[in-house]
Amino acid sequence: MKLLFRLAAALLIMLAFGQAATAAKKPRTSKKDEVVTISTSLGDIRLVLSDLTPQHKANFLKLAKDGFYNGTTFHRVIPNFMVQGGDPNTKDSDPGNDGMGPPNEKTIPAEILPALRHKYGAVAAARQGDYVNPQRASSGSQFYIVQNHNGTTHLDGAYTVFGQVISGLEVVDKIAQQPRDERDRPTTDLKMTVKVEKLKKKKITELYGYQYP
């Protein structure tokens, strides 16, 4: 009997340790998220960033909180495709270098996932082409928002999607329709200011109808 009791006790201890280890491995899901608001002369765009792309999310939030994006413009707009911004070069007086990015820009490793697709309002990272960037690393700051209402599925698997517009899609449409030059640069600067606000996920769903996966 004593032997059976000891074996049973040992089994219970092992099960307890196993459950504790499993619980320790489970990531804690936060009840809050950060809403990014991009303000322009045409209105506000609000978006949330994906936890599935932690490096892109952390990088974008840091730049936004540091005021990096304030004064930059949407420097490339193509109707029925996308609007692109976030290049610090757009702060200077030379429109010719817009979109070229600073020299020796730090890149972010690709976080390309099948679950994150180029649907209408998707936020994705711009990058250099495969011929110089076979790893598909993302620009350290430039991003684009899918404006095509049917999405741009041909870009799936090639660029990192890391967020989604939850409010202001009509503003994205307005930006895409602005007069532009032969380089697809708007003829009038579309400057942005960006702020970050932490809210409960439940509140975000109530305010914007966004459903978390």
Banded pLDDT at 180 (limits 50, 70, 90)? very high
Residues 6+ apart with CB under 8 A from 138: 56, 107, 108, 109, 110, 125, 126, 127, 159, 160
Q: Which CATH architecture has domain 32-208?
A: Beta Barrel (2.40)
Q: Do residues 106 and 140 make contact, with C-beta atoms less than 8 angstroms apart?
A: yes
Residues 6+ apart with CB under 8 A from 198: 32, 33, 34, 35
Q: What percent of the chain has pLDDT over 70?
A: 87
Q: For the purposes of burial, counting CB atoms within 10 Å of the CB of 52, is it exposed (0-12), middle (13-18) or buried (19 or more)?
A: middle
User: What is the domain partition of the chain in residue ranges?
Assistant: 32-208
Alpha-carbon distances of 18 from 4, 14, 15, 22, 23, rounded to whole Å:
21, 6, 5, 6, 9
> Of 70, 120, 95, 51, which is closest to residue 189 (Cα–Cα)?
95
H or E stretch at 53: none
Res 8: pLDDT? 45
What does the pLDDT look like over 45-73, one tens digit per residue? Answer: 999 999 999 999 999 999 999 999 999 99
Res 29: pLDDT? 73
pTM of the model: 0.85
In the predicted model, is pLDDT for residue 42 greater than 50?
A: yes
Banded pLDDT at 7 (limits 50, 70, 90)? very low
